Amino acid sequence: MLVADRVIAIAIMGLSAYFMWHAVALPIGWNGMTGGPGGGAFPFWLSLIMMLSAAGILVRSLGAEPTDQKFFDGVMLRSVIVVVVALFVTIGLIPVVGAYVAIPLFIFWYIRIFGGHSWLLTACLTVGTPVFLFFFFEVTLKILLPKGITEPWFFPLYAMFF
Amino acid sequence: METLALLGEGFATSLSPLNLMIVILGVTAGLFIGAMPGLGSVNGVAIVLPLTFIVPPSSAIILLCAIYYGAMYGGAISSVLLGIPGASTAVATTFDGRPMAQQGKAGLALIAAAVASFVGGTISVVLFTLFAVPLADLALAFGPAEEFALVLLAFTTFVGLGGDDVLKTIVMICLGLVLSTVGLDLISGSPRLVFGDLPGFYAGISFLVLAIGVYGIGEILYTIETSRTAPTVTPAKITLRELGAGFRAMNRMWKTMSLGSFLGFFVGMLPAAGATPASLMAYGIARSTSKVPESFGKGNIEGVAAPETANNAASTGSLLPMLTLGIPGSPTTALLLGGMVMWGLMPGPMLFIEQPDFVWGLISSLYTANFAAVLINIALIPLFVWALRMPFTVLCALVMVLCIVGGFAPSQKMHDVWLIAGFGVAGYLLRKADYPLAPLVLALVLGPLMERSFRQTLISEQGNVLAFVERPLSGAFIAIAALFFVLPLVKYLRKGGRQSVAPAE
């Protein structure tokens, strides 16, 4: 728990420094002409407060007694990491093979392989979800989801609904 | 009297077939979302918000409020049937709701929760109606200086009253404010914090992206880790006899319920407090004023009624500052505020003047939502028992897909979907490390208002910083804000003083 606390505090300090480095592109000081601070002041000084607070958390944790409490539950952490990887792979696939291939793949993986559910449930959700998404977003809201290389498959459907 | 006339006109809007259907739909969806362990009103509103493009803006807000209401009712369902709070707001309901279920009185507990929620919701909506106009009138006198002071006050309540680690709260407020500055500078229009000129950042970071990430993906990841085994569902049957017994029992608890409603309403208005502390306080008061305090925690029906009135009243209370002042009283209302801004309905006093149809339609829809929620809640109890048996993996997969597609839909940029995934993982880790997420979301929503009002004031006052304290209202807000800010410091020093005595022993 303490190690995680320190790592997160250091990460936040790093992030603050990164924000500050970007913020100085605009004036961070007092703008004498118009009155009031420049465009970079808000992000810069708030990042500084964030950095100081994170430093405070770090210093405090250095003096704290170690506890038995674990930050991650070892067994369940594996599931979390697997799901996060699957999520990132799915998002990465969407612009390439299209939402209507990537999302059913994700659902199939999640329900059948990760969740271990029956084939019937898997089939219902894998087919039902993209059909719902198509009618809700494309037909009703006219919001086109990315299709990547599968775009030509949808021309007949477009002709039918638009 | 004028309020009554306006409210009557509002009912004409909210009772139109479309809006009535929307209220029923929203309340039902909210009940299911609230009943799912792990998902509460804030998750429901975040995930459903992108889907509300399907109806006109004013109906979309009514839909989201109905979901909010439904989820507040629904939280009690899993508290009673699973012993796991459906949302943090229903924690206090498990104290007596779970023992009642184990004694075979799950049906009675659910009826008590629904009726208490209805009483809490109704009393607080009446209070809302009475306070809305005076508060909006007061807010009409606000200039940028007052707006800045009020936002500052909202943030300091997290520091002074939030109960979370003070340093971690400050980190989250600053992070939210800094993220809100991404994009184009409000005054000069030049790009800032675009991180190596990534075009996606020029439009800024939408509150929706952060909310879907943190409350959608992050929440699911958190639940995956914490839900090791599937909990057992206690069966609940609702018979006419139980309904009668429930109503008779509720009839004896008017004092507890009205106390819980008032308490919840006023606590709910504070950004840092809200439904969870309100329900815990109401539970504590009910126990300490009871003639049989030892029966609490062992299945006393009053221990279900008290927190349920308070958490529903608090959710209405948190809508009041959002609608009248433009300062949300809870993370869920922060999302509602973000949604309203997105649809061009700027909350605040001017909304009452420019869009009275919308405002009063919304307020009256809270009455109908309450009424619909209590009926649907009691009628659908068997369905909830069945739905709670749904495997968690199915829910997770569907919510994840909704987050991806819902994140893409508003801006139609994959950039936002990546941000959602990133915020999801970051939010999950921060939550595990006890960083409070509510101030982060509130800060992102209020950040632009805070910066604009600060800089506008200084420009109009030629850089005179004292302008903030010289104006009476803004000065008063800043004084209270300063008080909240030093409150934890005083507590810390007093505690520190005791600690320094300890080693001498």
Query: What was the pLDDT predicted at A75?
Result: 73
What was the pLDDT predicted at A105? Answer: 95
Choose the weakest-confidence range: A72-81, B4-13, B201-210: A72-81
| Residue A150 to chain B, least CA–CA distance (Å) | 17
In the block, residue with structure tokens 């939280």: B75
Q: Give the pLDDT confidence score for residue A35 in this predicted structure.
A: 67
What average pLDDT score do residues B132-140 get? 88
CA A146 to chain B, closest CA, distance in angstroms equals 9
Per-residue burial over A101-126, b if 16 or more Cβ lie within 10 Å, else e, is: bbbbbbbbbbbbebbebeeeebeebb
The secondary element (H helix, E strand) that includes residue B192 is strand B191-192
* Chain segment B466-483, per-residue pLDDT in tens: 888 888 888 888 898 888
> What pLDDT was estimated at residue B85?
79
Look at A8 and B226 and tell me if their CB atoms are within 8 Å: no
Min Cα separation B347/chain A (Å): 24
Question: Is it the case that residue B117 has pLDDT exceeding 90?
Answer: yes
ipTM of the complex: 0.91
Question: For residue B500, what pLDDT is reported?
Answer: 38
Instruction: State chain B's mean pLDDT as an integer.
Output: 86
Chain A residue with CA closest to B189: the answer is A39
More confident residue, B371 or B244: B371
Which one has a higher pLDDT value, B51 or B235? B51
Q: DSSP string of B424-471?
A: HHHHHHHHHTT--SHHHHHHHHHHHHHHHHHHHHHHHTTT-TTHHHHS
Residues of B in contact with A76 (CB under 8 A): 224-226, 228
Residue keyed to tokens 């569902």? B233
Question: In the structure, what pLDDT confidence band is assigned to residue B101 with cuts at 50, 70 and 90?
Answer: confident
For residues B41 and B76, the answer to whether their CB atoms sit within 8 Å is no
Question: What's the pTM value of the predicted model, to 2 decimals?
Answer: 0.87
How confident is the model over B394-438, as pLDDT tens digits? 888 998 999 999 889 888 889 999 999 999 999 999 988 889 888
pLDDT at B505 over 70: no
Cβ atoms within 10 Å, residue B252: 11
Chain B positions in Cβ-Cβ contact with residue A91 (cut-off 8 Å): 404, 414, 417-418, 421
Question: What pLDDT, in 10s, does the model give residues B166-200?
Answer: 889 999 999 999 999 888 877 777 788 777 677 77
Confidence of residue B504 (pLDDT cuts 50, 70, 90): very low
Q: What pLDDT, on a 0 to 100 scale, did the predictor assign at position B231?
A: 67
Nearest to B21 by CA among B368, B383, B319: B368
B222 pLDDT band (50/70/90 cuts)?
confident
B374 pLDDT tier (thresholds 50, 70, 90): very high
State the pLDDT at residue B498: 45
Residues of B within 8 A of A42 (CB-CB) are 177-178, 181, 451, 454
Q: CB under 8 Å to A138, separation ≥6 — which residues?
A: A144, A145, A161
Mean pLDDT of B134-149: 87
Q: What is the mean pLDDT of residues B266-291?
A: 85
Contact B340, B145 (CB under 8 A): no
Per-residue tokens: B126: 């009446």
pLDDT the model gives residue B124: 94
Biggest alpha carbon distance in chain A? 70
Locate B449 and state its tokens: 């208002």
Question: Hey, are the CB atoms on B414 and A140 less than 8 Å from each other?
Answer: no
The owner of tokens 């030509």 is A152
Q: Which residue has the higher pLDDT, B193 or B45?
A: B45
Dmax (CA) for chain B in angstroms is 73
Question: How is chain B split into domains, by residue range?
Answer: 2-494
Are residues B51 and A136, on separate chains, in Cβ contact within 8 Å? yes
For residue B108, give the amino acid letter. Answer: L
Decide the pairing of beta strands B183-184 and B191-192: antiparallel
Where is average pLDDT lowest: A28-32, B156-160, B314-318, B449-453? A28-32
Residue with tokens 């809640």: B377
Length of chain B: 505
Tokens (6 digits) for B353: 């003047």
pLDDT at B345: 87
pLDDT at A143: 85
Of the candidates A46, A76, A137, the beta carbon closest to that of B178 is on A46
* Residue among A49, A88, A117 minimizing CB distance to B421: A88
Position B496 scores a pLDDT of 57
**What does the pLDDT read at residue A91?**
95
Contacts of B192 in chain A (CB under 8 A): 22-23, 25-26, 39-40, 43
- What's residue A73's pLDDT? 66
Beta strands per DSSP E along B72-165: none
Average pLDDT, chain A: 86
Size of interface A-B (CB pairs under 8 A): 177
Helix, strand or coil for residue B111?
helix
Of B260, B215, B207, B271, nearest in space to B40 by CA: B215
CB contact under 8 A, B54 and A141: yes
d(CA B115, CA B254) in angstroms, rounded, equals 11
Q: What is the DSSP letter of B268?
A: H
Q: Where are the beta strands (DSSP E) in B62-211?
A: 183-184, 191-192
Q: Taking CB atoms and an 8 Å limit, are A136 and B425 in contact across chains?
A: no
